[in-house]
Structure 1
Amino acid sequence: MSYTGPDFDPPQRPPSSRLRSNKGYPRRPRRGPLTVALAALVPGALLGWVVYEAVGDGGSGGSGRTASPASPASASASASRTAAAPSSPLAPSAPSPRPTSPGDGGKRRTTPPTAGTGSGPLRGKVVVIDPGHNPGNFHHTAEINRKVNIGTNWKECDTTGTSTNGGYTEARFTLDVAHRLRTLLEEQGATVKFTHDGNSPAWGPCVDERARIGDDAHADAAVSIHADGSVEGNRGFHVILPGAVHSGAADTRPIVDPSRDLGARIAGNFLRDTGEPPSNYLGKGTGLVTRTDLGGLNLSTVPKVFIECGNMRDSKDATLLTSGAWRQKAAQGIADGIVGFLRAS
């Protein structure tokens, strides 16, 4: 994922060349591996969450991310979910039924079925899936460099994203996971809409339009899928939550609390289903990070989160991200979190 803008350097070579991650995160020195067993991560995450709530997100590294206090509007928006919220940031929801096939074969659907036509527990629920970036962005660098208003300031329309050292691009990864996720959610009866499907449109869409697609669909939940581009040794997943923003066209206050609930459920289920640990370089072990500089979150009027499924520049994470079997687990973890959130709402 890449949204910082000023240091964006569009690649002039094929995706296999080394790309700048441009994630908006600082390049941190390599840290050691997690020193606790995976089974101890959940209680550790709870302690990290308590610290996070008390002092704000310490993983910003001076990049401008801030943890904003809850407002009366956001508290009201989430009141109906309080009783059903997970007791821990990494507490998984009950898993949804597993599919008999790993995906839908990459079928493209630019127009989703009418909401409520499916059968299952999520009948009538609308989910918007936003596959981060677009494979066509590499050929439309002038278009994606155009600035758009994200409420707090102006940012590039979109970026190319990152890649593994072997050339597997983030855009390919996000589309694959998105297709798998769509299949899982539709089996539960949900109506699923994509912000794009590879070559439709041929590039982008811009970050403001991605948010608007979820808003116009009156989505019950929206998730943007990404993979990070940090340095070797920095590994693990993290879910990005919207901070409280009220500036220009942006007003996230009504969605802060329900988005936090959605993000916590996704984080807990992603950990359980994939075995991927929470990030060891952001989020203090909680797997949760709050940001106020992302247009896709700032301009959303529906509960929405981003998930960075792993670090493409770390060799251990890259092995997982390039595995079709693991991507199916990633889709399942995200799906289980969404299902838990929608059933509780």
Structure 2
Amino acid sequence: MTKALRMTGLAKLLGVMMLVGVPGAAIGQTPDLPKLHLKVVGSSGIPRQFELFEKPFFTKTLPERSGGKITTDFVSREELGLKGFDDMRVLRQGTLDIGTSQTLYVGGDEPFAEGVDLAGLFGDIDTAFKGHMAYKNALDERLQKKFGLKLMTLWPYPAQVIYCRPPIKTLSDLKGKKVRVFGRTLGDVVEHVGGASVTITFGEVYEALERGAADCGVTGTLSGNAERWYEVTTHLFVLPLGWSTTMHTMNLALWNRLDAKTKEFLRVQFAELEKKLWDFGRESTQDGINCNTGVGECKYGYKGKMTLVTPSAADVALRDQILRDTVIPRWLKRCGKDCAEPWNETAGKVVGIRMKAP
């Protein structure tokens, strides 16, 4: 997106005060809070999480439950033209108050963030929840120290699976294929089996698959459906490779200026949002499969006719081997020896893996 468009988006966020009208006293209000206006950028406006949870939370829930004391300007990443690590840089500068980032994108500047969503680390969402909650404090400390950001939520998209245009039956069938990935650890998996990892922005993947610039792509079961990948792919290989972990962060200087009542109010509200997003991650993983294949109830997406490919025990074993032999060693090399111990005591402990510092 052009610089002019980015400035237009920032001007919209900074210059237009979209104060949300709030009705009279309601259950759960905290009217004695001081006034606070927050400039917020949410996640991508394409996946369902944005409209179903983020937008209502920032534009309705916070204002209503605070008795009108907390108001927001809220836009999506696309409206500001933000990509990758951009929003975290803007947060550090104080231009934004709250931002939304995916840990794998942040990993380019802070590899420690990748540690909670290493490809193949958590094979199901219940284990992923335990691992994320274990890792959360360590990640928060790293973000505060290195970037001046306070971690408010840590949550998943649906399971990240493989959409392919040519037929595939196993993970090894990615050999020789061009596979769209986001984040280095997903690329590690593809390269281990002999595929070529290609980085393509989410909004451009449909066209890349359609014209053959990519043979396959990795994204969430419902996320890919929202972009209608089922129209340009034929096979859905549902081996979970990750969870596209996402976080809401707040400018730490702002957080430190808040009074105790406001901090506690925000902690409670963000914890509730986080729980809803985890619940939806669980529900939407299966819903996305149903929608893409056209089998079963499709509640949140569009019905396709993809062929469902269920991973075998051998595929699961290969994914686990790649995690130990390739993904973890490469991540630790990028992250450094100081990453090993906090990872071992949190996410690693949940899955029973202990890595050695390089």
Q: Common fold, TM-score beyond 0.5?
A: no
Higher relative contact order (CA 8 A, sep 6+): 1
TM-score (norm 2): 0.26
Larger radius of gyration: 2
TM-score (norm 1): 0.26
